[in-house]
Amino acid sequence: MSIHIEAKQGEIADKILLPGDPLRAKFIAENFLEDAVCFNNVRGMLGYTGTYKGHRVSVMGTGMGMPSISIYARELIVDYGVKTLIRVGTAGSLNKDIHVRELVLAQAAATNSNIIRNDFPEYDFPQIADFSLLDKAYHIAENMGVTTHVGSVLSSDVFYSNMFERNLKLGELGVKAVEMEAAALYYMAAQHGVQALAMMTISDSLVNPDEDTTAEERQNTFTDMMKVGLETLITE
């Protein structure tokens, strides 16, 4: 077992969904996986392994923010041999044409975090998705009839920020949404040579605040994203 995950070797599949909320991991396991078994409850960060359409897959929460997902992603990759990681999270729209409950696939992730800059202070190291996963997810979502947007997102180090207006300016430059994990996940994948993709359901909007969802809705109702994530994991 690793420092933050109590699973024994072999209890985690090499393909995993990573919601931020551990209760969303529980919801996915209970509603989409067959014979799901809990492999982690350290710090309440629930993780499960089961089968989806005959394929062995896992799902585990990562918590909020880039430090948290970096810890779990690294341990999953290094200590448990996970090869494919898909974030299934939530994001806030930065664009008036992107609405609540629509799906965003993060082709790239800009960030104001120093996590990557600490390693490469001379460069703006690009955080990009695995193209194979991105391509699969887009076509799966399209075939399901899910309204989907592909492009860059902002991975922010802060939730309550005084950068509101500047974040909106990024939206004017084509950034689709703001969230808090994708850039770190992509960096972990680049470091260790594995596949990663971040997909987010828009749960609130910085430009259309009357569309915002409740905590319960964010935990239990974003099932289109969950299906797209699972289908992407198992598609060869």
> Could you tell me which residues are annotated as the binding site for a purine D-ribonucleoside?
4, 179-181, 203-204
Q: Which of 204, 210, 212, 224 is catalytic?
A: 204
Distance CA 214, CA 192 (A): 36
Known binding-site residue numbers: 4, 20, 24, 43, 87-90, 179-181, 203-204
Strand partners, 18: 87
The one-character DSSP state at 220 is H
The one-character DSSP state at 128 is B
Residue 35 annotated to the active site: no
Question: Cα dihedral sign for 165, 166, 169, 174?
Answer: negative
How many Å is the Cα radius of gyration of the chain?
16
Name the nearest CA neighbour of 78 among 5, 170, 155, 164.
5
Known binding-site residue numbers for phosphate: 20, 24, 43, 87-90
Catalytic machinery residues: 204
